[in-house]
Structure formats: structure tokens, C-alpha cells
Amino acid sequence: MNRDTMLQKLQSHEGIWDVLVIGGGATGLGIAVDAAARGYKTLLLEQHDFAKGTSSRSTKLVHGGVRYLQQGDISLVLEALKERGLMIKNAPHLVSNQAFVIPNYSWWDGPFYQLGLKIYDFMSGDLGIGSSKRLSIVETIRHIPTIDQKELAGGVVYFDGQFDDARMAISLAKTAAQFDGVLLNYMKVERIIKNEEGIVQGVIALDLETHKKYHIQSKVVINATGVFADAVIKMDDPSAKEMIQPSQGTHIVLDPSFLPDKYAIMVPHTKDGRVLFAVPWLNKVIVGTTDTIVEKPLLEPHFQLDEVEFILETASQYLTKKPTKKDILSIFSGLRPLAKPEGNKQTTKEISRHHKVMISTSGLITVIGGKWTTYRKMAEDTVDQAMLIGQLKVSPCTTHNLPIFGYDESLNLTEDTLAVYGIEKQALLDLEDEIPVYGGLISESLPLKASQVIWAVRHEMARTLEDMLARRVRGLFLDVNESLRIAPQVAQIMASELNESTDWIVNQLTEFKAIAKHYQLIEH
């Protein structure tokens, strides 16, 4: 997957595209996979990098949603549990099983949560990934050695999925490309084109690298831009009412000493009524999340100090080793693209996580809401609508049993950080023998090899230092200071691969340092 090759395919394409997708996050990429796999001529345009926004900033969970079960949203949980099972089946190199412990501090908690989680297990059906069970005090402490033991009454263990969201996005892009889909990052849609009857016929897009404009025709245009969906809706109809209520979720990242075993903690009730997770991930611990209403969506959202303090305070209630601000390696925030609530719902946690597929009078298709776990079903529902709107040849969805690019059952993300490359892992390792000039290991703590940088440029469309250190590998999310330390070396390798100048390196380092501030806790 190479950007120059993709650009050539766009330029040489004759005729009208069947499906044009705006947005390269989980939703857009899922749609591109579904449409291309059905045989439709598919083009996806992303204004920044794949999964730049919400889709790289999740809690890294593939889950049915225990919280939604508490809220009585049975249909969402059933849908999500089915999709969880399909994700694990179709992408074993990217999704793994994760055990969660709910610590109990009263005798009633144990039976109460065990009953709820048995229902959760039952709803998984044939796609279940493990049975929940009660834990004694001794078992709870053995699984979570750092748990606060004062008044501990035991626990309940259950299972959900875990994944690397940004790497899943890249694998989805490669899956779509396998079916002749064309996907371009740094291609901004500036305007929607309509015919004389006011029906959407395509878009005008600007290549942010070459500054060349493209007039692109398509039978169907799909708005899959997440929190930015309203901006595209207003391109279609300036008088349209806003559909999105952004909600910010913030996470902090700690070193593994806070959760030394492989088990995660799930706190079912925080003081704001949400759940809190502390999850081991890539040899670090992610703790979150929050739910804060945001008025305006930003490409690079910034955490609020009270969100960080809330996470630290809540985590400290359950851990013997109390995390402080000094322990934070990185902080990342993402915006949930929730559908604006109808009625008098006051908090974002009350807003449904169901997705909605909407069609404007001009034929623009917009999909909003949803979550990573249900990306495949969202795509299926959207392409079913596109088939009707674009009068495309009838072709059923094939993604239920479609292996995601890189599929390799022998690789496990929890044991091998290179598992995300799937069947390409060996080619990546072979690359190390070809390029001794760059040296090997760049960072031991992340970890990162020079070969991964070169691979990302050559085969994964990494165009900037941020693309590399935030999403192709997860450095910025795992340890912001370590990422800043190695940035000059990574920029040098990228510049060599991209045939860029010293000025490019300087500009990239300046931009990366500015972005890194959004992941740092800098107190004055």
C-alpha cells in the first residue's frame, strides 16, 4: 500500500466510481472494505491520516459493553458481542482475549455482578470467548497483586477482547486495497458536486501534499467523518441542523508496575456513573475513560486537567500503589461521534451508542454514532443503503467471514509486538538484513526498530513523523518523552525514504513537538 501508487490509480481511473467514502477512520475504512469486497469500484479520501481522530484514541477494547447491559440496551450488547466474536475470528493477529476482574468490596457485589456477567456470557452464544466466574479474596489478589485489600470481599472475572485500534485501521485499509479499493490520506474533500436536479454526483478534493485539485464523480458519496460529519452535511445542505454531540474520553498511561499481571481491572461505578478500566496494553497500563461534553470537534483534542485528576483519584481508590501526575507517561483524548440526543438527556453517558445511517434529499449518505466493535455491521448497513441509492448491481455483504489483511492464527499480540504485521512480519524481519546502514533498535521501551519505520513509509502510507510515532507504532500514546527523544532519528530515516530535505526534518520535528504537548501534563 503506497500513496504514489494509489494516486496513480486515482488519476488513471476511467469512468465513475461506484462508492466514494469521505473519512478514513474505523467507519470509513470498514465501508471501503465492505464495498470493495462486494466488487464495487471504491475510493476513500481522508483529510489527514488513517485513524487520526477518534479511531486511534479508544480504550483498545473490543467489547459488548457491560455498561450498556446495565442500562438495559440489550440490542446493542447483542450486536456488539456478535461483532466482537467476528473481529476475533477474522483478525486473530490484531485482537486478543483479555481477562477483566471486577473487585468486590461488599458481600452483595459478588452475586450481583456474577449474575449480570453470566447473562453477558450467555448473550455471546457460539461466539463467546470465556466464562465469567466468582473469585475468592486470595484469587482476586493473585490476579491483581496491586489491588487495595482493605475490605476486599473477592471479585468476578470475565472476558472481552483487546486490540490495537490504529493498526486495525491500517489492516482494514490494506484489506480494501486487496479488493482494488483506492485509499488516499491527506486528500481533503472541499466541496460536494451535484447535478442540475440537486443530486450528489461526486466531490472536489484537494491533495494536501501536491495542492492539486481533483473533480471526482461517483454514483454514491458516503459521509463517514465521525465527529466532523456535520461539516460535510453542511456542504450538502448549509441549513441542515447539527447531528453530532461530541463527547471527550481521556486516558492516562502508566508503567506496568501498577498492574504487573496480565489481568485488567474494571470498576463498574465511578462517581460520574461511568465505568473505569485499567488495562495492560503493550507493556504499559491504560487507565480511563472520562465522558465530557465538548462543544466543537477538534482534530487534536486536548485533555482537561480535571479529567486527569478524576482518573487518578478513582484509580487510587482501587490500587495499593497510588498513581500520581508524575507517574503519567502519556495522556490521550478522543472524541466520540455521538448522535445528538432527542429529548432531555443531560449527560453523554445516556446517549445511545447505536449507529444511524441517514440519507439526505440529495442522496448523500451519512453514518453517525456506533463504536469500533461494531464497525463491520455499520459498514454492512451503510453499503446496503448505498446499493439502493446508487442503483448498484445487487451484491450481498461478504465480510462476516472475511479475514482481515495479515490474518495469521499463530501470532498473538499479547506476546509479540510484531504480531500486528501478520503475514508480513517475516518480510519486515527480512528488511532488517537489507538495511544495516540504519542500525537496528531505536527504542527498547516502546519498542521500535528502524525496519518498522522504513516499512511504514514503503508499505503503510506513513507520510509524517506523527503518522509514524502515533499510529504506525504507538509511541506517542505509550510514552511521550521517549517518543520526543527518538523523533530526530526517526525523522532522519523517513526523510531518506521519502527523498525529503533537511528542511522537511526540521519542520516535522517542530510540528511533532507541538502535537506532543497534547499528550503531556505540563503544569506551571
- Model pLDDT for residues 149-188, shown as the tens digit of each residue: 999 999 999 999 999 999 999 999 999 999 999 999 999 9
Cβ atoms of 405 and 425 within 8 Å: the answer is: no
Average pLDDT for 409-424: 88
Least confident of 99-113, 182-196, 302-316: 99-113
**Residue 432 grid coordinates:** 532488517
Question: What's residue 311's pLDDT?
Answer: 95
| Location of C-alpha cell 495522556 | 331
Q: How many residues does the chain have?
A: 524
Average pLDDT for 225-230: 95
Question: What's residue 350's pLDDT?
Answer: 46
Look at the domain 3-54+166-243+350-401 and name its fold: FAD/NAD(P)-binding domain (3.50.50)
Name the more confident of 486 and 347.
486
Q: Which residues of 71-91 are buried (b: 16+ CB within 10 A; e: fewer)?
A: eebeebbbbbbbbbbbbbbbb
Question: What's residue 77's pLDDT?
Answer: 81
Specify the amino acid at residue 79: E
pLDDT category of residue 39 using cuts at 50, 70 and 90: very high
Question: What's residue 318's pLDDT?
Answer: 93
Question: What's residue 337's pLDDT?
Answer: 86
What Rg, from alpha-carbon coordinates, does the chain have? 23
Selecting from 3.30.200.20, 3.40.50.620, 1.10.8.870, 3.40.250.10, what CATH number does the domain 417-519 have?
1.10.8.870
pLDDT category of residue 524 using cuts at 50, 70 and 90: very low
pLDDT in tens, 458-513: 999 999 999 999 999 999 999 999 999 999 999 999 999 999 999 999 999 999 99
Least confident of 51-65, 216-230, 256-270, 438-452: 438-452
Q: Which helix (H) or strand (E) holds 487?
A: helix 480-498
Give Cα separations from 438 to 432, 489, 492 (angstroms): 9, 9, 10
| Location of C-alpha cell 532519528 | 489
pLDDT at residue 274 is higher than 90:
no
207: burial class by Cβ within 10 Å (0-12, 13-18, 19+)? Answer: middle
Per-range mean pLDDT, top range of 106-110, 114-118, 400-404: 400-404
Which residue, 386, 419, 391, 414, is CA-closest to 280? 414
Specify the amino acid at residue 129: I
Average pLDDT for 288-299: 88
Cβ atoms of 291 and 314 within 8 Å: the answer is: no
User: Over 327-365, what HEC string results?
Assistant: HCCEEEEEEEEEECCCCCCCCHHHCCCCEEEEECCCCCE
Name the more confident of 261 and 467.
467
Q: Which helix (H) or strand (E) holds 168?
A: helix 165-178
Percent of the chain at pLDDT above 90? Answer: 75
Specify the amino acid at residue 170: I
DSSP letter string over 188-255?
Answer: EEEEEEE-TTS-EEEEEEEETTT--EEEEEEEEEEE--GGGHHHHHHHH-TTPPP-EEEEEEEEEEE-
pLDDT at residue 70 is higher than 80:
no
Architecture of domain 95-161+245-342: 2-Layer Sandwich (3.30)
Dihedral Cα 104, 110, 115, 119, nearest 10 deg = 30
pLDDT category of residue 437 using cuts at 50, 70 and 90: low
User: Over 419-453, what HEC string results?
Assistant: HHHHHHHHHHHHHHHHCHHHCCEEECCCCEEHHHH
**Residue 119 grid coordinates:** 447473562
Give yes or no on whether 95-161+245-342 and 417-519 have one common fold: no
CB-based contacts of 11, cutoff 8 Å, min separation 6: none
CA pair distance 54, 446, nearest whole angstrom: 22
Q: In whole numbers, what is the pLDDT of the chain averaged over residues?
A: 91
Domain boundaries defined on the chain: 3-54+166-243+350-401, 95-161+245-342, 417-519
Q: Is the peptide bond before 260 cis (omega within 30 degrees of 0)?
A: no
Question: What's residue 436's pLDDT?
Answer: 62
Question: What's residue 346's pLDDT?
Answer: 46
**Residue 326 grid coordinates:** 508524575
pLDDT at residue 348 is higher than 50:
no
Average pLDDT for 134-156: 94
Average pLDDT for 108-123: 81
Question: What's residue 168's pLDDT?
Answer: 97
